[in-house]
A and B are shown apart, each in its own frame.
Chain A
């Protein structure tokens, strides 16, 4: 029997717990210094805006698409659990937004969102369909020497193009009551203070710094996957996803978060195209576009599919296999890699190697989920009796993360012993959430089980607590 976390009748929105990672110091992954953090009240204000503020629009909030319970992204399986009046579906029940605002079919089947990235002149034909990226580890994944890069093509924000300004564009694109999009009528724009708070909250989410690879992994397949990932003459992944993050290092030093044309748009049989719905080509950065897209971080990837800007590939194995295919190797990026290769090869991987890289990405993701779970559990353990409601919210968040860890490892047939510890950790956290007098003890035990799971994945080192 599956245990239900809801043990009383006063469920609190899970959303409230998500920003908590900020309060506790980063312990695991890397021994570097933690960057300075904005005051926690600003972050709390931003969290409240992100999940609750509709900006006098159509009822959506940022959290409508960047779901707290779905790693700040959204996917078809999660969408299937939502009631028909969820504001995600405004285009289905608000007559003013029925046409040219979303494509409900593509939204429900593939979690694709309509965006007018090339302008609002021809709403009927001029749009792109994109997946919802998670907004985790933004502190590591937005900056480049040429300026900030937000969104799948790196040019998502109006104003100065910064992460802070992104929210203004999101309100105009996703929140209007009608397609007139008149400020003050169809929505209100975020104020300067609200933009500050939203930015502070978003920067507080997930990792605050990149991992340093290689990690002393224990599993032989993930370990081999890591080697291939890091091998600049075999997997070549690390050139663009340095340390499994979002910055590129092509040999001349780190060039920050960069854009590349890797040929995802040219993939044959893309799921959205198979529906017969109109899916105009997405030309990437700029207008007219130059065909390039922005590099996402990979530590967070395994539990945030479907993958790529168009959600074209459902599984992490499939996403890795993309690089062995025609679309990548015939792309400008593929040609460039081939030109620099002594044997003229772009990226060529065999089945075992594809699965090994995916196994590595699964383990990286599980380690990050374990890190977050431990933070949440520790924060929860610090809550006193009077704060037990907050403690419970933190526990629920840890339970969700742990569920992800289990799924990600099991999905790759990886580390059954770690999975057993994680299942135990999840049960303990569920029990803690329902317990009045044993909450502390059970939470501490859950933390122990998380650490046991981690010790199955990676050699313990002094840098790791």
Chain B
């Protein structure tokens, strides 16, 4: 019986019993750059955008710890932090990752390459909105 049940363990794992439980509640998008609990003070990358490479889907960030290049995937969430403008935060696109803007990147855990789980870009100019750069 024990052996059979051990098997269940494995099967149930496949059913989602063992899914990695990272904080992915959607309220994250409303948390301003630098204030994500247990992330901003520990593990995220905060700096200014040096460049965005659309072809390779990477963004290069100038942070206190040095310059770092991070990959974006189609799972990466991009949010526009407009709290300094007293406007609601929104979803954005890689077109919003403009040089000079403040950025916070949460890296995916357990990835070999540096890949972003989410990215927050701080907007300080009134009128800036999703994809504004592309227009």
Contact with A along B1-39 (1 / 0, CB 8 A): 111111111011001111111111111111110011111
Q: Which of A253-261, A397-405, A426-434, A457-465 contacts B (4 or more CB under 8 A)?
A: A253-261
**Residues of chain A within 8 A of B100, CB atoms compared:** none
Roughly how many angstroms separate A154 CA and B24 CA in the complex, as a whole number? Answer: 10
CB distance from B76 to the nearest CB of A (A): 13
Q: Does B54 contact A (CB under 8 A)?
A: no
B91 partner residues in chain A, CB cutoff 8 A: 121
- With beta carbons under 8 angstroms apart, the residue of B21, B36, B41 that contacts A155 is B21
Known interface pairs A159-B38, A252-B6. Does A291 touch B18 (Cβ–Cβ under 8 Å)? no
Given contacts A183-B30, A250-B6, contact A290 B11 (CB under 8 A): no
Residues of B with C-beta under 8 A to A118: 26
| Min distance, Cβ B61 to any Cβ of chain A, angstroms | 20
Min CB–CB distance A39 → chain B (angstroms): 21
Cross-chain contact B32 with A159 (CB below 8 angstroms):
no
Stretch from A5-13, A145-153, A321-329, A356-364 at the B interface: A145-153
Residue of A with least CB distance to B2 = A251
Interface residue? B135 (CB, 8 A): no
Asked whether, in the complex, the Cβ of A189 is within 8 Å of the Cβ of B2, the reply is no
Could you tell me if B5 and A340 are in contact, using CB atoms closer than 8 angstroms? yes
B39 touches A251 (CB 8 A): no
Give the docked Cα–Cα distance between A136 and B16 (Å): 25
Q: How does the 8 Å CB contact mask read for A149-165 relative to B, with 1 for contact and 0 for none? A: 10100111111111011
Say yes or no: B17 contacts A259, CB within 8 Å: yes
Chain A contacts with B in 217-260, Cβ cutoff 8 A: 232-233, 239, 248, 250-252, 255, 258-260
Residue of B nearest to A171 (CB): B27
B25 neighbours in A (Cβ, 8 Å): 117, 151, 155-158, 169
Max chain A Cβ within 10 angstroms of own Cβ: one of B15, B21, B83, B89: B21
- Residue of B8, B27, B89 near A169 (CB, 8 A) is B27
In the assembled complex, which residues on chain B have CB atoms less than 8 Å from the CB atom of A77? none
Measured in the bound complex, the distance between the Cα atoms of B29 and A335 in whole Å is 37
CB-based contact A159/B31 at 8 Å:
yes
Residue B55 at the chain A interface, CB threshold 8 Å? no
Chain A residues with CB under 8 Å of B86's CB are: 182, 184-185
- Interface assignment of A2: CB less than 8 Å from any CB of chain B: no
Alpha-carbon separation in the docked complex, A258 to B11 (Å): 13
Name the distance in Å between B93's Cβ and chain A's nearest Cβ. 14
- Tell whether A333 pairs with B88 under 8 Å between CB atoms, given A250-B8, A340-B4: no
Is there an interface contact between B12 and A260, defined as CB atoms closer than 8 Å? yes
Asked whether B18 lies within 8 Å of A120 as measured between CB atoms, the reply is no
User: With A292-B17, A339-B11 as given contacts, are A155 and B37 in contact (CB-CB < 8 Å)?
Assistant: no
Pick the contact of B20: A146, A169, A255 (CB < 8 A): A146
Interface residues on B, range: 35 or more
Q: Which residues of A contact B23 (CB under 8 A)?
A: 155, 157-162, 165, 169
Whether A251 contacts B5 in the complex (CB less than 8 A), given A159-B39, A183-B35, comes out as yes
Q: Chain B residues with Cβ under 8 A from A337's Cβ?
A: 8
- Check B87 for interface membership: any CB of A closer than 8 A: yes
Chain A residue contacts of B3, Cβ below 8 A: 251
Answer yes or no: B112 CB below 8 A from chain A CBs: no
Q: Inside 8 A of A232's CB, which chain B residues have their CB?
A: 1, 5
Chain A residues with Cβ below 8 Å from B4 are 251, 340
User: How distant is B21 from chain A, measured CB to nearest CB, in Å?
Assistant: 4
Bound Cα distance from A362 to B87, whole angstroms: 50
CA distance A164 to B37 in the complex (A): 8
What residue of chain A has the Cβ atom nearest to residue B17's Cβ? A258
> With A146-B21, A159-B38, A182-B88 in contact, is A239–B8 under 8 Å at CB?
yes
Q: How far is the CB of B45 from chain A (nearest CB, A)?
A: 15
- CA separation between A232 and B9, bound complex, in Å? 13
Q: List 21 A-B contacts (CB under 8 A).
A: A146-B18, A147-B20, A155-B21, A155-B23, A157-B25, A159-B31, A160-B38, A172-B27, A172-B30, A183-B31, A183-B83, A189-B31, A192-B41, A195-B37, A239-B5, A250-B8, A255-B9, A261-B16, A332-B15, A333-B12, A336-B11
Assuming A158-B25, A189-B35, A292-B17, what are 15 further A-B pairs, CB within 8 angstroms? A117-B25, A120-B26, A160-B39, A162-B37, A162-B38, A168-B37, A180-B87, A181-B30, A183-B32, A184-B83, A251-B2, A252-B6, A255-B9, A337-B8, A340-B4
Sorted nearest first, the 9 A-B pairs with minimum C-beta distance are A251-B5, A161-B23, A160-B38, A159-B37, A165-B37, A292-B16, A172-B27, A250-B9, A180-B88
